[in-house]
Amino acid sequence: MFDLSLDKLRGYRPEVAAPADLVDFWRRSIEKARTDDLSASFTAIDNKLAVIDTYDVTFAGFGGAPVKGWLHVPAGATGPLPTVVQYFGYSGGRGFPHVTNLWAQAGYAHFVMDTRGQGYSAGGGSGTPDDSAYAGLNHTPGFMTAGITDPETYYYRRVFIDAVRALEAAKASPLVDPDKIIVTGASQGGGISIAAAGLAGLAGIELLGCAPDVPFLCHFERALQITDEDPYGEITRYLKGFRHDVDAALRTLSYFDGVNLGRLATAPTLFSVALMDAICPPSTVFAAYNHYGARPDVAKDIEVYSYNEHEGGQTYQQLAQLDWFANIFAAKESSTDR
């Protein structure tokens, strides 16, 4: 236990300054992305599975670049189905179609998005390059510092816009109920899901829920102070060399911080945190959780795993999510019937 005690974490609401033009920056980024045709396509494939149907997805992300994904549904489903959109952890990707389809097994549509430039730990069907002109700017190995001196060029601007476009692509499928979408992901995927929940409103998209699991990309300054683990360590190494970039880098990161983007969210949320997690320290997760929600009445809960590191709850958290997703979707169904 290297971080704050649990009782202090539950009340931890640090001052994390948001840039004055945060909303304008993201609204402009979304509008710019929409000047490219979404061009969402869904091609049925043989996934070697008897109970799941899978579609190979391509859509236009940031800059019109093609982004890959899978759409999994129960075999024979004709839709529209409640849908879970999933984003992946650092280095992960959509991989082979038989690997990640839990939410389709639960009876939902399950849309997974590749993370551009990543996917090397998943292999298989992952293959969404980051071919932006900004990808070659000075940075440490990895993705955390690519374009870090300016929010316009930062790597995660492209990723977060891809995440919003993934929601639009999902809604374009007749298998997806556009009024019943939850976003989720672990680690980096958790950070992306928080960003997607915060930006959805700016994009005119209503989400039913957001379920970030041991989320990354939250309260950057705190993370840099208390852990030297990667991927946050990539930023430390960059600033160790490029000493003159500290102020510019921290300013850029404020546009992408889960604390600031989560404040914009209106969907209910279920977080998770692991108290021995040195990769995504508990205080960074609780900072995002405690600040989450554009209104005081936004429902939120957090599962705490006291003796786990970054693996977090794993199957225990999936059980919690299965119950939470079912309740969220059932509540929406009930309200629609009235």
CB-based burial, 300-317: b 16+ in 10 Å, e otherwise: bebbbbeebebebbeeeb
Element holding 269 (H helix, E strand) = strand 269-274
**Which of the following is catalytic: 272, 277, 283, 291?**
277
State the amino acid at position 247 in one-letter form. Answer: D
- Please give the backbone phi and psi of residue 180, each rounded to the nearest 5 degrees, phi first: -135, 75
Which residues make beta-bridge pairs with 213? 186, 272
Catalytic: 5?
no
Q: CA dist 47 to 99, 101, 121, 214, Å? A: 10, 11, 20, 30
Q: Which of 56, 150, 230, 310 is an active site residue?
A: 310
Q: For 179-237, give the DSSP string.
A: EEEEEEEETHHHHHHHHHHHHHTTTT---SEEEEES--SS-HHHHHHH---TTHHHHHH
The helix or strand, by DSSP H or E, that contains position 315, with its residue range, turns out to be helix 315-337
Task: Name the packing angle between helices 232-241 and 246-254 (round to 10°).
Answer: 150
As a whole number of angstroms, the distance between CA 273 and CA 205 comes to 27
- 98: annotated active-site residue: no
187 catalytic, yes or no?
yes
Q: Which residue has the tokens 């930023």?
A: 235
Nearest CA to 41 among 59, 63, 60, 64?
A: 59
- Six-digit token string for 70: 């899978």
What are the tokens at 264? 């914009």
Catalytic residue among 187, 193, 254, 272: 187
Q: Around 262, how many Cα atoms within 13 Å sit in the side-chain half-sphere?
A: 37
Active site residues: 187, 277, 310
